[in-house]
A and B are shown apart, each in its own frame.
Chain A
Amino acid sequence: MNVLSRMVRGLVSGVRAVNRRYANPGIEMTPFVRLALVTLRVYLLVLIGLLVYKFAITVG
């Protein structure tokens, strides 16, 4: 149990360290970059929505 909790703590601290290291996006946020990222978010949300819908109708 101790080993497991130590592993989880190590993983969480590792993830936090990564988040801190890359907290500030290095790319210049031009309007083109912003638009591309927003479009990508919308696209992925739609795709995930479809996956959830498929899962719901399959299970239902």
Chain B
Amino acid sequence: MNLVASTFYRSRRWLKILRLFAIVAGPGIIVMVADNDAGGITTYTATGAKYGNHLLWFLILLGPVAYFVQEMTVRLGAVTKRGHAEAIFSAFGPFWGWFSLLDLVLTDWLTMITEFIGMTAAMSIFGVPAWLTVIGCWLLMGGMIMTGRYWTWEKIALVLCVGNLIYIPAAFLVHPSVHDIVKNSFIPNLPPGGFTNELFFLLMANIGTTIAPWMLFFQQSSVVDKELQEKDITFGKIDTAIGALLTVVVATFLIIVCAKLLPGQSIDSAAQAAIQIMPQSRYVGAIIAIGLFDAGFLGAICISLASSWAFGEVFGWAHSLNRKITEAPWFYAYYLFDLLLAGTVVLIPKAPLVLITLFVQVIATTLLPAALVFLILLLNDKKTMGRYTNSTWENVANIGIVVVIIVLSTLYGVSTLFPNFLH
């Protein structure tokens, strides 16, 4: 009887914990999965096609790196109740504040153009013209925020996150070598041909797509909009860890698919990969295209929100998804303006879309180091963070990660500007 009672009590306790987690979870999963945006999907297809499964171990390593960086935004948001843009203004003054805000806005807008490029390219595979895709996306993205409830937006975003997992069944359809996958996942190794400039560029592209400036701003603002408290930090961390796991899983499975179906090929975009795969497997090709659209859509709504939140925080506008459009007009106006502007660029005939894609990487390089340094400094401000200040070990791990990311992202940005820099 005692055993039955204690089991019942324990299961009720776990159910309660799970229910609490379900309430708190969201920002971490969404930001991490949205991180696999259209640009990310392209990077993974190029990686898998060019180097097969050889770089799986590197992708797996990036999961914890993304977790350590994003986890800091959870603590910062829950303790200060301020978004990242406001936190920077408040801590470092107007110079760094404006630098971060304007750089973020530019980076986000350029990145959103790449999301629309991905979405239109994906839908064109199914014969949908670009103008129809863009208008359809605008309507859907506008409709998502009409309810004036954060929860509704979050639930739709989570459904899109589930859509991002579409690459998992695709990997099973191509029957990859399990031995090869397991070996390359856990034993660090270089692809045949050794360390080349092309390999270095792809490694850096993978880092660039895993840690992006908008993610810091998005998750912190999201934590604040969701009104998470200090007591929710543990759940927030678990949410972020699950998100990091999902982002790695999605990337891994996509690489496995491309490694099997496009071995040794140079791929410029995920849409190109989908088209090349179609003759071998219609289903897998279609899955890659659907996944690309889903990734672009999720990326666009999150990135646009990151900018809207940042502007709202700094200018003191009402800036919450829990407000109706009439209560926070500037916040929603900016969100929609951003989407309209990015979508319009894609529809302009002969717009320099490739140049824009390259420019994103360079601009992001100027913002990422600054955002990461601010994050570390803010997390070490005892006066603000109290008992949630970075511990010594957290500092060792986080500063180490930040230094490596800064060095590599700088090399990435510079080698984008000067392609012969690494020769």
Contact = CB atoms under 8 A, between A and B. Distances in A.
Interface string B313-334: 0111000000000000000000
A36 B370 CA distance: 10
Interface string A24-35: 111110001100
B373 A36 contact: yes
Nearest to B91: A27
Contacts of B384: 26-27
Contacts of A14: 315
Contacts of B365: 47
B330 to A, nearest CB: 10
B394 interface: no
B93 interface: yes
Given A50-B414, A50-B417, A51-B362, A26 B314 contact: no
A38 B383 CA distance: 22
B369 A24 contact: no
B93 A24 contact: yes
Contacts of B378: 27
Given A18-B315, A40-B369, A25 B93 contact: yes
Contact of B373 (A19, A40, A50): A40
Interface in B399-421: 410, 413-414, 417-418
A8 to B, nearest CB: 15
A43 B417 CA distance: 16
B370 A22 contact: no
Interface string B77-109: 000000000000111111011010000000000
Contacts of B413: 47
A56 interface: no
Contact of A26 (B91, B315, B370): B91
B366 interface: yes
B11 to A, nearest CB: 46
Contacts of B316: 17-18, 21
B383 A28 contact: yes
A23 interface: yes
A33 to B, nearest CB: 6
A11 B382 CA distance: 35
Interface in A30-60: 32-33, 36-37, 40, 43-44, 47-48, 50-51, 54
A37 B417 contact: no
A18 B384 CA distance: 21
A18 B89 contact: yes
B377 interface: yes
Interface residues on A, range: 20 to 34
B383 A18 contact: no
A32 B384 CA distance: 17
B414 A33 contact: no
A22 B410 contact: no
Contact of B92 (A19, A25, A43, A54): A25
Given A50-B414, A54-B418, A23 B373 contact: no
Given A47-B365, A51-B362, A22 B381 contact: no
B97 A22 contact: yes
Given A50-B417, A54-B418, A22 B377 contact: no
A12 to B, nearest CB: 13
B401 to A, nearest CB: 15
A27 to B, nearest CB: 4
Interface in B358-388: 362, 365-366, 369-370, 373, 376-378, 380-384
B366 A26 contact: no
Interface string B123-154: 00000000000000000000000000000000
B381 to A, nearest CB: 5
Contacts of A27: 91-92, 377-378, 381, 384
Given A37-B96, A47-B410, A50-B414, 7 more contacts: A18-B97, A26-B90, A27-B381, A43-B369, A50-B418, A51-B417, A54-B417
Interface of B: 89-94, 96-97, 99, 314-316, 362, 365-366, 369-370, 373, 376-378, 380-384, 410, 413-414, 417-418
Q: Which 7 A-B pairs have the closest CB atoms?
A: A27-B91, A25-B93, A22-B89, A19-B94, A54-B417, A26-B90, A26-B91
19 contacts: A18-B315, A22-B89, A22-B97, A23-B93, A23-B94, A25-B91, A25-B93, A27-B381, A32-B380, A36-B373, A40-B369, A40-B370, A40-B373, A43-B369, A43-B410, A47-B413, A48-B366, A51-B362, A54-B417
